[in-house]
Amino acid sequence: MSYFGLKVVTSRKFWDAAKMVYPRCGQIASLLSYRFMSQAKEPPLTAERYQVSRLPYSEVSVDDVQYFQKIIPGRVVTEEGELKVHNIDWLRTVRGHSKVLLKPQTTEEVSQILKYCNERGLAVTPQGGNTSLVGGSVPVFDEILISTALMDQVISFDDVSGALVCQAGCVLESLNQYLGERSYTMPLDLGAKGSCHIGGNLATNAGGLRLLRYGSLRGTVLGLEAVLPDGSILNCLNSLRKDNTGYDLKQLFIGSEGTLGIITALSIICPRKPSAVNVALLGCEDFSRVLQVFTLCRDQLGEILSACEFMDSESMRIVQKHLKLINPLPDNAFYVLVETSGSCGKHDEEKLDIFLEKAMDSGFVTSGTVATDQGKIMSLWALRERITEALAHDGYVYKYDLSMPVEKLYALVEEIRTRLGSSAQCVVGYGHLGDGNLHLNITAKSHSDALMSALEPFVYEWTSKHSGSISAEHGLGFKKRDHIYYSKSRGAVHIMQQIKRMLDPKGIMNPYKTIPPTD
C-alpha cells in the first residue's frame, strides 16, 4: 500500500538499512530482539498519548511527492508498510504518522529538499539509525522523514593524523571496523553501535562507553557540514586539530538534535587502536565499595583506564532472564566493569594485577574475573551493553538518563524502589561511574499514568536538587523537552530559543522537540 499511489523502488540497500534500525549490541546479533519488536503491538499515536496539538505546517501533497521524486528518483518512500518502522521509536513508546520518507545520497540533495520544505512550510524530521531513547528521531505528527541511511560513504582518512571524514549516515560500528583495519579506532562507543549513524551521534552529542578515555564529541569532532533549514550549506568541514577563527559554529549543531539543520558530513579525530585490552568484572557488597573501587582504579590504572561501568544486581538479573547471558559472579549486590586499553600488554597486566590485589586486600571487592581474549571480553561487555535491550523485553520502560555527583548516584535508585513498591515490575540502576552518569530504568507491564505521576516530576526534582542533569547523554528529544528547566535557567533557555528562531525562523526542523516554545 502506498499513501500516494506512487511506485517506489526499494533497493536491497534499503532493506539492509531498515533492518538496522534495531540496535545490535557489538557483534552479537540480537535476532531475538528483532523478532520481539516486529511482533509487538503498535504503541498509540504520540499525539493521543501525550495530548499534543499539531502546529500549522503545510500538509504533504501529491505535488510535493512528485517534486521529491524528481530530486531523488527512486528514493522516496510512501508505502505505509515500509514507513511503519520509521514512524515508531525503537522503544515503541512514541508513534508518528509521516507519509513520506526521503533518502538523499548527497549534501546537494539534502539542500534541495530543505529549501523546498522551507518554502512550502513543510516540517521535517531527520532520522539516522532511529535509536533515540527520548523520541527524538521519529515524527510526532506527519513531519517528512529525511533519512541519512544512504549517506554512508567514508570521504577520506588521514593515517598520519587520524582524521576521518565521512558522511553522516555511516553506521558507528562500520566506521570502527574500517578504522580497525587501519590500526585506529573510533573515540566513541555505545550499545547501539550496530545501528546508530555517526550523524545522529553528533546531533545528540552521544556519550557512551569511551568518554572517560577519549573525551566528548565536543573535543573530538574537528569539523562538520550541515544543511540549514533554508537549504543553504554550512561548510565547517575542516580536519584541523586547532582552528580559532571566529565562533565555533559546529558546536551549535553538536547536541542540537536536528532542530537547527541536518548534519550531512563530519570530520573526527580518531585515536590509535590500543594493542592491549583487558576487562575485569568485579563484584561488590554495597555501593560505597563501588565508589572505592572507582577511586582506586583511577589512581592505579591512570592513563590506561578506558571504562569504568557499574550495574546493580537487578540489571544482572534482567540480562540473565531475557537474554540468557551468564553471570560469572553470582550473588553480588553490585558489579563494576573495568576496562584498560594500552600500548604494552605486559605493562597493562602488571598495573591491573596491582589494582586487583589492592581491591581484594582492601575488601572493596568480593569476587572478580579478568578477560584478555576478545571472546571473553565481549561476553563481559555484553552483560553491561545489553541491559537496554533486556529491559525492552521486560515490558514498558520508563527511562531516565541522569548525571550527578558520583557519590549520589545510587541513592535515587533506592529511593525510587521504596517509593514505587510493587507498582513497578523492576527498578534497575547502572551506568558510567567515570562520568557520574546513572541510567535509571523502571519497567511495568504497560504504560500507566499513575506510575508516571509517581515518577515525574519526582525524579527531575531530586536530580535538580542534587545539581544534576536530567539528560546526561540521551538528549531531550520529544519526551523530555519541557523538563529542560530542571537543568537550565530561563535565561539560558531564552537564548536557545533565540538561536532556534535565528536559524530556523519557520520552525520546520524537527518540531516539538528539544527546545520548548516561547512562553
- Burial (Cβ within 10 Å: 0-12, 13-18, ≥19) of residue 155: middle
Pick between residue 80 and residue 303 the one whose CB is nearest to a second copy: 303
Least distance to a second copy, CB of residue 469, Å: 4
Q: Which is nearer to a second copy, 13 or 241 (CB)?
A: 241
Of 55, 154, 155, 233, the residue at the interface with a second copy (CB under 8 A) is 233
CA-wise closest residue to 49 among 19, 91, 80: 91
The C-alpha atoms of residue 169 and residue 366 are separated, in whole angstroms, by: 44
Burial 310-321 (b: 16+ CB within 10 A, else e): bbbbbbbebbee
Of 272, 277, 434, 269, give the one whose Cα is nearest residue 342: 277
Q: Strand pairing partners for 29?
A: none
- x/- letters, 345..384, toward a second copy (CB under 8 A): --x--xx---------------------------------
Sign of CA dihedral 410, 411, 412, 415: positive
Q: Between 34 and 458, name the residue whose CB sits nearer to a second copy.
A: 458
Q: Is 409 in the site for a second copy (CB under 8 A)?
A: no
Q: Does 60 bind a second copy (CB under 8 A)?
A: no
**Cα angle: 439, vertex 441, 443; to 5 degrees:** 165
Site for a second copy in 420-439 (CB under 8 A): 432, 434-437
Cβ distance to a second copy smaller for residue 74 or 405: 405
Binding status of residue 499 toward a second copy by CB under 8 A: yes
Query: Which of 100, 211, 365, 409 is close enough to bind a second copy by CB under 8 A?
Result: 211
49 and 43 in contact (C-beta within 8 Å)? yes
- Residue number, 139 or 477, with CB nearest to a second copy: 477
Q: What letter does residue 200 receive in the DSSP assignment?
A: H
6 binds a second copy (CB under 8 A): no
Nearer Cβ to a second copy, position 119 or 248? 248
Contact status: 80 vs a second copy (CB under 8 A): no
Identity of the residue, 374 or 498, whose beta carbon is nearer to a second copy in the bound complex: 498
Nearest approach in angstroms of CB 486 to a second copy is: 8
Residues of span 291-310 touching a second copy by CB under 8 A: 291, 295, 298-304
For residue 340, the minimal CB distance to a second copy (Å) is 10
Closer residue to a second copy in complex, CB, 12/242: 242
Q: What are phi and psi of 103, to 5 degrees?
A: -125, 75
Report the site for a second copy in 113-172 (rule: CB under 8 A): 158, 160-161
Name the β-bridge partners of 165: 156, 267
- Which triple of cell numbers denotes residue 62? 501529491
Three-class secondary structure of residue 213 per DSSP: helix
Shortest separation between residue 403's beta carbon and a second copy, angstroms: 5
C-beta closer to a second copy: residue 59 or 243: 243
Binding-residue pattern over the window 307 to 346 for a second copy, x denoting contact by CB under 8 A: ----------------------------------xxxx--
CA–CA gap between residue 248 and residue 370 (Å, rounded): 43
**Phi, psi dihedrals of residue 341, rounded to the nearest 5°:** -140, 125
The Cα 296–Cα 356 span in angstroms is: 9
Using CB under 8 A as the binding rule, whether residue 464 contacts a second copy is answered as no
Q: Does 199 bind a second copy (CB under 8 A)?
A: no
What count of other Cβ atoms lies within 10 Å of the Cβ of residue 286? 12
Cis peptide, bond prior to residue 457, ω within 30 of zero: yes
